[in-house]
Amino acid sequence: MQLNHEIPDFAYAFRAVGDSSVLLEDRENGAPRTLVQSFALTPQSLLDTWTAPAAVRDMTAEHLAPVLALKPELVILGTGRTQQFPPAAVMAACLTLGIGIEVMDNPAAARTFNLLAGEGRNVAAAILLPG
């Protein structure tokens, strides 16, 4: 069976996810990029200076505000090695704006983001990393 490597037609995609870092396809800069601190992205934009809490339980709606400002139809919240739900106020911040939110571990969040972005969906991923 022949497999073809498909190049995404969007600027940012996940290539690999580790416990403390993420490797992104960065077509804006023309080279892969490793991130070691929490970040958020859409298929066309990267918030590599996103201020996220150290722990999911400490997340507030204000932490998610820069991500919601991108006006996605869905936010995928990657909570690290394991799935951990944020406080209800964080979930409500999305839902009151009509924005869906899904909470997953980071590898699942990366796979889901790539799939939805590849379908042309208006999706954002907010990824928590321990650094």
Answer whether residue 4 is part of any domain: no
3-state SS assignment for residue 29: coil
What confidence tier does 5 reach under pLDDT thresholds 50, 70, 90? low
pLDDT tens, position by position, 13-46? 999 999 999 999 998 888 999 999 999 999 999 9
Residue span of the structural domain in which 42 resides = 12-127
pLDDT tens, position by position, 76-98? 999 999 999 999 999 999 999 99
Answer whether residue 63 is part of any domain: yes
Q: Give strand pairing partners of 125.
A: 41, 76
Answer whether residue 94 is part of any domain: yes
Domain harbouring 48, CATH code: 3.40.1230.10
The pTM assigned to this predicted structure is: 0.92
DSSP symbol at 57: G
Answer whether residue 3 is part of any domain: no
Rounded mean pLDDT of the chain? 92
At 30 the pLDDT is 87
Q: Are 25 and 43 in contact (CB under 8 A)?
A: no
Answer whether residue 2 is part of any domain: no
Look at the chain and report how many structural domains it folds into. 1
